[in-house]
Structure 1
Amino acid sequence: MPLLFLNEKSWGTACDPARAERAMADFVDAVRAAAAAGGSGTALVSEVDVKALEIAEGYPVNKWIGASPRNRVLWQRLRGLQGRSPVRSVFPAEDAADHLEYRHDGEVILGLGAAHFMDGIAVSLPVARQWQADRVPLERSELVEDDDGTLEMRHDTVDVRHLSAEPHLDGHLDWIRETRRQGVTTGSRIWDDQADLYPHLTFLPRVEGQLRGLNPHWVVPVRRVLEGLEEAVAAWDPATMAEPEWRTKVTPEGETRKRVCRFTDLDGETRTFDLHARFTPGAGRIHLRLVPKERTIRLAHIGGKIRPDL
């Protein structure tokens, strides 16, 4: 759920309207792709409302919106993403970055600097060549206090994550996924974000209650096992492999226990989910079955070891 920080220096530069149109279309596609990868909570952060900006000199966003029905659709898609302004509104405290200054090519640059400070991603309108990259170097000046209490300004160079076109997102996807996983601290979040976090896994409805009531000690272990299952199924080709190359230990139940692993599937049929992965502390189990036609595995149980009814 990263924050996307608008690079104000990439707007209002000189270019012809046709180039501005292409740049705006690429920008909308890139932002929407980042938001899709980032999931709920992803926001576009800018110092002023995007509608108040100029795409190019003399070509404000309002004029672009009215230029064609396609532009209106693109604008609606962009506005579908949560927007926040000004930039300081997302800082942990309004003055949190007052000891820092970021420059690019000698100019103070707010959006890119905020993206680095807040560990987010900067997004630019791809008009100038300098913004057509997945990382942008910045000069950082930081006011620091020495051991003796004196203040001095230190200077270094840092790279900020950046995108201005959809292909730039490829270099940031692993980081985005890890950021989202680290943000999952409850079983309810696992359930609510399952489609985004684990697109190759499907869950029976009965699992919702198990996840929402998940012991806090089990949240991280369960999350890690699900991540391993997701990675395995994402690389699985059912046409050439009977089952995925598991990234976590997955074994079948013995014949005498298969009867306790039968559950009502999504289509109403009762099936055996005897394959299971383990997690600790305790005897944690995730029961599943392979669904090769859908290139997925279906999960029927997340919790303690299933005990037979007495």
Structure 2
Amino acid sequence: MDFDLILNELSLRNPASNEQIAQQRMSELIKTIKAVKAQGVKVSLRTKENFHTIILAPNYPLRRWLNDKEVDQVERGFIRTLATKAPFSTDTGNSEIQDIENNSSLSEFRHQGEMAIGLGIAYVLDTIAISLLSEECWDCSRLELEFRCLNQDEELIHELVDIIHVSRSSHVQEHAVLIHGIQQRIRQEVSDGVELWNRKEELFPRLEFCEDVSKQMQNLYPGNPMLRQVIKRLFELEDYCKIWTDGAFNSDNIPSKATPESESRLRQFKQELTFKCPDGEKRIFSWHLRMTGAGAWRLHFSEELGPGKIIIGYIGSKIQ
């Protein structure tokens, strides 16, 4: 499978003032894409509209750039052979991607107050967003997005989330380890929750799963927006267990934010947060990871068997 780069359409809103600056921006974009390819991945560029219709400068669309004899022939050849996919939702099989793209979703992502469709899709697909270096705000290796959605109880959920972002080749070097991790997940891609459950010992040998998780995981159908996020969080816990060889559990070493339940919620939902483990013991699963999307899901886990072992107790909507 290809490694998808998601083009940030907001970085196209300010065309260059002249053709020379437009050419410089394209050169930097090409260097950035090549830096990703140099990590050993096959790259596809996903865009909101047909990539070749982009306006780089007044009266200078990408089609003119491709035929401009003043532009390096190698650069023009690179863009001609670059695999591009438009619209964003092409071949994803993910209904939430289509809803976000068509502005028909109950959830939305914004960057500095502006609707950010591409950046939001990069978050949902757990991949990298790429921008044309057209403004100073895109000269960074991470971006913060504002996420809003209505949960199943029609309550407004508001969160801030981070995404991986590149607009220079130097940004790519900062993300080399993360790109490798995404590449490994692509190679181990599963089609649905049933396959994920059946391959859990292969993919997550350091994790144990409570019996109730079986149904929760197997209900993740193809295209479910939570499937990819569940997989991501499970790999994060598996990777943490690899380095957790001694000492106490340290949530700071897990990429996503892991937090325990508050004392008030533990008192109120003690029974609902207690699950029977594979060893027959019943444990309270306070620690959890959040998953942003429809319903704002949680993954509850226990570190009591550690070092090097974590139990997964619950995957689903926030326990109420």
Q: TM-score, normalised by structure 1?
A: 0.54
- The corresponding residue for 1:170 is 173
8 Å Cα contact 1:140/1:157 also seen in 2? yes
- The corresponding residue for 1:34 is 36
- The corresponding residue for 1:110 is 117
Q: Secondary structure at the match of 1:47?
A: coil
The structural deviation recorded for 1:9 is 1.1
- The corresponding residue for 1:308 is none
The verdict on how the C-alpha distance between 1:185 and 1:112 changes in structure 2, with shifts beyond 3 A counting, is: closer
- The corresponding residue for 1:198 is none
1:74-93 superposed matches below 5 A: 74-93=75-94
The verdict on how the C-alpha distance between 1:101 and 1:91 changes in structure 2, with shifts beyond 3 A counting, is: farther
1:214-233 superposed matches below 5 A: none
- The corresponding residue for 2:138 is 131
CA distance in 1, matches of 2:119, 2:203: 33
Task: Kindly provide the CA deviation profile for residues 239-279 of structure 1, in whole angstroms up to 9, marking residues without a partner as x.
Answer: xxxxxxxxxxxxxxxxxxxxxxxxxxxxxxxxxxxxxxxxx
Is 1:19 equivalent to 2:26 in the alignment?
no
8 Å Cα contact 1:132/1:164 also seen in 2? yes
Could you say what the CA RMSD is over the residues aligned between the two structures, in angstroms? 2.7
8 Å Cα contact 1:12/1:57 also seen in 2? no
Q: Return structure 1 stretches of 4+ with deviation > 6 angstroms.
A: 218-221
> After the TM superposition, which of the residue ranges 53-62 and 124-133 deviates more from structure 2?
53-62
- The corresponding residue for 1:291 is none
Q: Secondary structure at the match of 1:26?
A: helix
The verdict on how the C-alpha distance between 1:24 and 1:154 changes in structure 2, with shifts beyond 3 A counting, is: same
The structural deviation recorded for 1:80 is 2.2
8 Å Cα contact 2:15/2:22 also seen in 1? no
The verdict on how the C-alpha distance between 1:155 and 1:90 changes in structure 2, with shifts beyond 3 A counting, is: farther
8 Å Cα contact 1:38/1:176 also seen in 2? no
8 Å Cα contact 2:15/2:56 also seen in 1? no
Q: Secondary structure at the match of 1:179?
A: helix
What is the aligned residue count? 187
Q: TM-score, normalised by structure 2?
A: 0.53
CA distance in 1, matches of 2:71, 2:40: 25
8 Å Cα contact 1:66/1:72 also seen in 2? no
Q: Secondary structure at the match of 2:35?
A: helix
The structural deviation recorded for 1:175 is 0.9
CA distance in 2, matches of 1:111, 1:119: 12
The structural deviation recorded for 1:60 is 1.2
Gaps of 5+ in 2: 190-198, 205-320
- The corresponding residue for 1:179 is 182
The structural deviation recorded for 1:38 is 4.9
Amino acid at match of 1:21: Q
Gaps of 5+ in 1: 187-215, 222-310
1:1-310 superposed matches below 5 A: 1-17=2-18, 18-40=20-42, 42-96=43-97, 97=100, 98-145=105-152, 150-185=153-188
The verdict on how the C-alpha distance between 1:83 and 1:14 changes in structure 2, with shifts beyond 3 A counting, is: closer
Q: Secondary structure at the match of 2:49?
A: coil
- The corresponding residue for 1:194 is none
Q: Secondary structure at the match of 2:29?
A: helix
The structural deviation recorded for 1:91 is 3.5
